[in-house]
């Protein structure tokens, strides 16, 4: 696909700036640039989702440290995530391609670094689809419980999850024009919905929890006795809720002025989400009427129980629908981001059957097979939910453990190899290195943390299978590297540095 000419070039028309930049990075323009700066920002904001990741893991946070860990963890983690996002945005400005992280790693570290970065990023995105859509299923089941008295089971949740996956696939196959509309709608829906929910929780209830409860109440229902370990486990909520901002990079080949717009989309989506989500979390905690009842809600969703207790049945059902729509739009965008990653990775020969996954529909300019693969793998990742009580938190941990090192590797390589990086239009200046090192150290700690057991004692039903998923992904990557790495060729820019020239010579000798 990367060797085929774009129709504009076949007509010998001049390249615009975005096409010229992309050609210098080694690719031809195949996807349509119908997304502006706001659309790009909206896509990342939709994936981070003010009403998705935070609310999906709200119950987990209440059990893993309680309100105190939810509040202080959110305040502490936000600036660290922003450091990682800023460091990544700087590199995105220089390399605005759909491949995103793995292309950056190739330019800064070489093909092996790029290979494993791509597989980790892919794991994070596919885990993100699974976590997001399974979370939508649980919220939809909670609404059905209030409306019809429906009692969800693991099997019925999996069926509902499958339907949601299929809907996201179908909408993604309709084309990029719809994506631009839905991502912009999603941003406004999230912001307006958050304002409505926060306002209702602040103004309607006759009783609110005291400040001491919100900022100091500690709850440990994890099964572990060490409070420090429980506090660290509670960090999964903000880490998962503030992940996915690389969507702006993956959609850069569909964004006008991507060298600046994609970088700003990353930063702005994290800042807006951190502030808005923080206010939403505080409003939920202050509005808790019965803490024990919230944790043991018959709906299965603590947020739904807070609405029910504080606002009444009718309002609770209405606000749950607002949240479900927001989460659905988020899941749609996560699926789009994952499919673009698969398309780009296959375009460079990194996946088994790459020729199939890189195909782009002539009618819709969408990598249709990549969309189907993304939802298919996401379905498999959720199958343990049939027997595991901790499956949802494990899937979210898979997403974090995939995303976080994939974000950090390009930043680490940029710090180690300063001579290989020329800043793009958006950069951090003299703050680049200190921010970068904070980001790398933070990412390393988070990656190790979420490989550890989340519930104790460890049994077949409480086992955190995140390390298994990670090892399987890395094993597949290692095995396929031995077989298929010779077909893996990430294009070099027209201004190749000496490192690229040396590696190219070594590759030629290896092939010959």
8 A C-beta contact, residue 118 and residue 323: no
Instruction: Please give the average per-residue pLDDT across 324-344, as a whole number.
Output: 90
Instruction: Please give the average per-residue pLDDT across 173-178, as a whole number.
Output: 81
Would you say residue 502 has pLDDT above 60?
no
At residue 150, the pLDDT reads: 86
At residue 402, the pLDDT reads: 86
| CB neighbour list of residue 153: distance below 8 Å, 6 or more residues apart | none
Residue 178 burial (10 A CB sphere; 0-12, 13-18, 19+): middle
Would you say residue 209 has pLDDT above 90?
yes
Buried b (16+ CB within 10 A) or exposed e, 118-133: bbbbbbbbbbbbbbbb
User: Tokens 């993100």 appear where?
Assistant: 128
C-alpha pair distances (Å), 18 with each of 104, 258, 405:
18, 7, 29
Of 59-73, 258-272, 492-506, the one with minimum mean pLDDT is 492-506
Buried b (16+ CB within 10 A) or exposed e, 443-457: beebbebbeebbbee
User: Tokens 């500690």 appear where?
Assistant: 218
Would you say residue 11 has pLDDT above 70?
no
Start-to-end C-alpha separation, the chain: 24
Side-chain-side CA neighbours of 265 within 13 Å: the count stands at: 37
- Here the tokens at position 89 are 């945005």
> pLDDT tens, 352-377?
888 899 898 888 888 999 999 999 99
At residue 4, the pLDDT reads: 39
Of 7-11, 218-222, 296-300, the one with minimum mean pLDDT is 7-11
Query: Would you say how long the chain is, in residues?
Result: 512
Would you say residue 489 has pLDDT above 60?
yes
User: Tokens 């005291």 appear where?
Assistant: 210
Which residue in 389, 384, 281, 334 sits closest to 128, CA to CA?
334
At residue 67, the pLDDT reads: 96
At residue 434, the pLDDT reads: 96
> pLDDT tens, 225-240?
899 999 999 998 998 8
Measured N-to-C along each axis, helices 66-94 and 258-286 cross at an angle, to the nearest 10 degrees, of 180
Would you say residue 5 has pLDDT above 60?
no
> pLDDT tens, 434-454?
999 999 999 999 888 888 887
Q: How confident is the model at residue 493 (pLDDT cuts 50, 70, 90)?
A: low
């Amino acid at each position: 696909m990367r060797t085929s000419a774009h129709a504009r070039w076949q007509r010998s028309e001049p390249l615009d700036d975005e096409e010229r930049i992309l050609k210098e990075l080694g690719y031809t323009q195949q996807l349509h640039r119908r997304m502006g700066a706001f659309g790009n920002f909206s896509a990342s904001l939709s994936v981070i989702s003010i009403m998705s990741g935070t609310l999906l893991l709200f119950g987990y946070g209440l059990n893993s440290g309680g309100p105190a860990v939810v509040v202080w963890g959110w305040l502490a983690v936000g600036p660290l995530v922003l450091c990682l996002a800023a460091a990544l945005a700087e590199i995105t400005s220089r390399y605005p391609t759909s491949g995103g992280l793995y292309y950056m790693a190739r330019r800064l570290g070489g093909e092996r670094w790029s290979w494993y970065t791509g597989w980790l990023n892919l794991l994070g995105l596919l885990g993100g689809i699974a976590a997001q859509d399974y979370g939508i299923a649980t919220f939809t089941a909670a609404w059905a419980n209030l409306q019809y008295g429906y009692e969800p089971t693991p099997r019925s949740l999996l069926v509902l999850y499958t339907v949601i996956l299929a809907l996201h696939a179908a909408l993604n196959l309709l084309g990029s024009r719809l994506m631009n509309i839905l991502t912009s709608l999603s941003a406004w829906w999230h912001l307006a919905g958050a304002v409505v929910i926060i306002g209702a929780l602040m103004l309607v209830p006759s009783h609110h929890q005291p400040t001491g409860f919100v900022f100091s109440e500690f709850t440990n229902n994890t099964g572990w006795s060490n409070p420090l370990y429980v506090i660290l486990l509670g960090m999964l909520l903000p880490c998962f809720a503030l992940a996915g901002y690389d969507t702006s990079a993956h959609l850069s080949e569909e964004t006008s002025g991507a060298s600046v717009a994609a970088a700003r989309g990353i930063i702005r989506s994290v800042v807006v989400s951190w502030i808005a989500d923080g206010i939403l979390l505080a409003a939920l905690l202050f509005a808790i009427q019965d803490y024990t009842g919230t944790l043991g809600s018959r709906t299965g969703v603590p947020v739904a129980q807070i609405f029910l207790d504080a606002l009444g049945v009718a309002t609770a059902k209405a606000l749950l629908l607002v949240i479900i729509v927001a989460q659905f739009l988020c899941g749609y965008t996560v699926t789009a981001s994952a499919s673009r990653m698969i398309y780009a990775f296959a375009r460079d020969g990194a996946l088994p059957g790459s020729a199939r996954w890189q195909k782009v529909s002539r009618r819709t300019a969408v990598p249709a097979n990549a969309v189907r693969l993304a939802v298919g793998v996401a379905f498999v990742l959720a199958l343990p939910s049939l027997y595991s009580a901790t499956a949802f938190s494990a899937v979210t941990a898979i997403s974090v453990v995939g995303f976080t090192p994939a974000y950090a590797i390009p930043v680490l390589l940029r710090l180690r190899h300063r001579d290989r990086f020329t800043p793009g239009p958006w950069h951090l200046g003299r703050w680049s290195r200190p921010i970068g090192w904070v980001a790398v150290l933070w990412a390393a700690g988070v990656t190790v943390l979420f490989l550890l057991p989340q519930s104790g004692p460890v049994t077949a039903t409480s086992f955190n299978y995140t390390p298994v998923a990670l090892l399987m992904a890395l094993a597949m990557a290692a095995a396929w590297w031995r077989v298929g790495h010779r077909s893996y060729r990430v294009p070099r820019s027209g201004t190749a540095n000496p490192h690229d020239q040396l590696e190219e010579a070594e590759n030629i000798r290896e092939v010959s």
